Structure 1
């Protein structure tokens, strides 16, 4: 095997001369680490099991390994497709289908003068489910705007409720004198988040702030905050849905890529950090946040600040759907006409009351 290794060799006692790399019928194969000797490498291997998304880094979005299966024969009739493939990641969440026979893969030589062909090629599709990965959401969204003093927080208990009374250690207060000892004592191999005590109890909060309004443009500030003391997030990403992403002029501190899941509707964007600047979201603390501003050009036919139009429809962090506040809680646009109408009505009622009192005294 090259480009990977089986975690267990299994029972190879029946082999007397050449001992196989693995004799288990259901081996677990892991990627090799960077810096592996060249004679053990293959193209697209040795990333330590870390794959980037195709949009963020296509060169590191592919992983591969090569193995030789003994006693499998050398014809299409003797070689059988693998069964029960499972993609393991930090925690559950992936479900893989059966291996389907597809057109054999073709390989072009280095001089591009000859093409060889694989005996058989199988295709296995694995899908990710947030509901299988964890029982509760992992992120939430808060909202604010320049035209309203109200800051709409994440919905209460978005990712769980504080239960230190019945389950001590479910969260940590940021000003606790025991914070350092609790964090250092937490299991390094556990993927369960150790979060700061908040009303939402989410490891990640995304804040969308409508910052400024210009004649032809408007500006938004996006802040991602990590409340998880146990994990930092390298190569994180956001997927945001908003109708004005078809006119995004500039993203100041995040990379941006338009995503068109509905072909003709360009309302979804993927945002991620700049390399060596803010592509690493540190664990909870003073450095546990990243932020950028987005500048949109107005489409006068659709643009409005009314009825929460300026806020996103959905936000995903690392593929997980974040909990949004209810629409009726969004910061509302002050209606000056309503205030003028109320003042005029009050003036009329006051005048009528005064006239009535004068008539009674007369």
Structure 2
């Protein structure tokens, strides 16, 4: 047998190629910021901070700041937004309307007269509460930092405040701040970008004035930055199967892990541990369960009619200390395009891709069930919906009747594995036995008739 000659150049090239490929893959992965959040169900969703310079005098600048929530279903709930930035110079805030700084800071360099509203190098601004004095209000302010999503309430998706600023020294001119934040977990803000100046009309459009300069700051949401673990899970059941598929074990946490706090049934958390600070989110105390999620969504295929089928959705709040106001639920299912009626919930399709209408948003009816109360007998909301059977796709086989994705308040819920979905009863063997019995019966009848 001949000896195969090995070309050492081949191995050098191959190793070099592998090293270069690995380097390219590593570079691409490392170049993707982990804070970037792109949502295919809401591809254009973001929170925009608009900074309008209205007047610029030698000793002061008048600024109007708007916070606009352009997200379809994500909203800002209590304790609300808390905007922050870093001044690039020695600026201070002399007066504010529609909001206030959380700290005045050290204003000792100002001697005599009225002190500035805030002297912090990195101020934090919060919205005024409802019912604030009229001389402190601005248009579209004073909602306690709560911003509705675009679909739920378009009239409450924005907040506005104004302020008068100046440099503490003799420095003149205007300098745009940097390093913006909105104080809500999961959001990361980009650098300010100057855009076309905003225009304003005070007489119905006959005369327009415009800002001296306008900057936009775009803030994106990432669920991975908001929480290291999921916040909700999904359980499934159907009328044709007695099995109830629970939320996957340890969906949100596991009992016994560090930081995994839960309360057993029949117990209540100590009053000393209940934090009632309006500027802080309530601590997460959930009922002990195998999934340890504060929110459980149950999807039940309830009934099948000749031309329709019915689904029941139940949302359970297992959080001991928290109510969810203005909650919403997003579901992805191919038959939502044939939705006929929804009972006791509001509904709006999310057809962001033209004819692909397989995603919809559910939320509560105002003053009826728009508040999901904390864990207890009233800690749930539920609805039923009626869907038309599409003959081109409808089937109960292979778990088709269950959703592909569920999101609660914009966060992805943990779904059970597909191989555990409730299945149709296996009637193949029964059908074969029935067919064989029928054949024997027909043969017996033929024999009787022949006699």
Structure 1 match to 2:178: 83
Number of the residue aligned with 1:47: 143
Gap regions ≥5 residues in structure 2 = 1-95, 438-451
Query: Paired residue for 1:70, among 166, 174, 198?
Result: 166
1:272 matched to 2:381? The reply is: no
Counterparts of 1:74-153 in structure 2 under 5 Å? 78-89=173-184, 92-153=185-246
What is the rounded CA distance, in whole Å, between the counterparts of 1:169 and 1:327 in structure 2?
27
Q: How big is each residue's C-alpha offset from its partner over 1:319-344, in whole Å with a ceiling of 9 and x where there is no partner?
A: 11000000000000123234333677
In structure 2, C-alpha distance between the alignment counterparts of 1:59 and 1:183, rounded to whole Å = 40
2:430 aligned partner: 339
Please tell me whether residue 10 in structure 1 is matched to residue 10 in structure 2.
no
Is it true that 1:320 corresponds to 2:411 in the alignment? yes
Which consecutive segments of 4 or more residues in structure 1 shift more than 6 A? 342-346
Structure 1 CA distance, aligned partners of 2:204 and 2:428? 75
Q: What is the deviation of 1:15?
A: 2.4
Q: Tell me the TM-score normalised to structure 1 length.
A: 0.88
Query: Are the equivalent residues in 2 in contact too, given 1:183–1:230 (CA < 8 A)?
Result: no
Question: Equivalent of 2:388, from 290, 297, 310?
Answer: 297
Contact 2:274 2:283 in 1 (8 A): no
The equivalent of 2:443 in structure 1 is: none
Q: Pick one of 316, 320, 326 that aligns with 1:235.
A: 326
Mapping of residues 148-187 of structure 1, within 5 Å? 148-163=241-256, 170-175=261-266, 179-180=267-268, 182-187=269-274
Aligned to 2:156: 60
Render the CA deviation track for 1:157-178: whole Å, top value 9, x for unaligned.
Answer: 1011111xx7698211112xxx
Instruction: Report Cα offsets for 1:260-286 as digits up to 9, x if no partner.
Output: 232331111010001111111111111
User: Would you say 1:37 and 2:150 are equivalent positions?
Assistant: no
Q: Using a 3 Å threshold, how does the CA distance of structure 1 residues 169 and 134 change in structure 2: closer, same or farther?
A: closer
Single out whichever of 335-344 and 152-161 deviates more from structure 2.
Answer: 335-344
Q: CA deviation at 1:142?
A: 0.2
**CA 1:86–1:168 in structure 2 vs 1: closer, same or farther (change >3 Å)?**
closer
Identify the residue that residue 19 of structure 1 maps to in structure 2: 115
Structure with greater strand percent: 2
Structure 1 residues 214 and 343 mapped into 2: Cα distance closer, same or farther (>3 Å)?
Answer: closer
- The two structures have a TM-score, normalised by structure 2, of 0.71
Moved more, 7-16 or 303-312: 7-16
Q: In structure 2, how many angstroms separate the alpha carbons of the residues matched to 1:338 and 1:183?
A: 57
Residue 259 of structure 1 corresponds to 350
Indicate the SS of the match to 2:314.
strand
